[in-house]
Amino acid sequence: MHKAEDEEADVIEAVCRGETQSYGLLVAKYKKPLFNLAFRMTGSYEDADDLAQESFMRAFQALHRFDRKKPFFTWLYTITLNLIKNHLKRKGRVVFEEVREDVLVKGCVADEGSCSAMAEEDPVAAVETCMQKLPHDLREALVLRFYQDLPFDAVAEILHLSLSAAKMRVYRGLERLRVMMGEEVKESEKS
């Protein structure tokens, strides 16, 4: 185990012994990554905050069942992704609440192909908008790999996939984003 994992194991052990205030250390460490994960998946600050809090509550309630031979963060991310999936199913569709007015004017939210026009002017906003249009499974793989900066083996564990399937899902998501952002059109124009 690494030093950070040893410290987490000590905190988890303390919480399981009844020192519940120690759980705050885990919350402090993972609050921002869980919020970012939930925001990237839902596009809503309010939903992301609620989902991150609920993730911590669920993890706390189930901490005695946590397999301490495995990394805590993958277990916590799995709980969070399951909550996000259920939330998105209940919601029915995803609305990216932080889309700027100029994005709406350009029509990028309305259709997939129009992201390419916006990409030249504001590539960051275009990526964020197009990410919200990706199918859930592709979006979660990209968020874990690139926004959460997790290695492929952690992505595979969190998504309950083989390593090769996790890599394939990330690459399919990237390819779909490239198409949405008009990369194929740009490449064909160079030929």
What CATH number does the domain containing 175 carry?
1.10.10.10
125-173 pLDDT, tens digit each? 778 888 888 898 999 999 999 988 899 999 999 999 999 999 999 999 9
Verify that 76 and 107 share a domain, yes or no.
no
The predicted structure's pLDDT at residue 121 = 62
Question: What range defines the domain where residue 8 resides?
Answer: 3-91
> Into how many domains does the chain fold?
2
Measured between alpha carbons, how far is 152 from 119 in angstroms, rounded to an integer?
27
pLDDT at 10 over 70: yes
Verify that 111 and 50 share a domain, yes or no.
no
Residue 140 near residue 81 (C-beta atoms within 8 A): yes
Tokens (6 digits) for 130:
């197009």
The predicted structure's pLDDT at residue 187 = 44
> Does 96 fall in a domain?
no
pLDDT at 64 over 50: yes
Verify that 150 and 75 share a domain, yes or no.
no
Q: Rounded to two decimals, what is the model's pTM?
A: 0.69
Verify that 111 and 80 share a domain, yes or no.
no
Last residue of a domain, one of 29, 62, 91: 91
Burial profile 168-191: b = 16 or more Cβ within 10 angstroms, e = fewer: ebbebbbebbebbbbeeeeeeeee
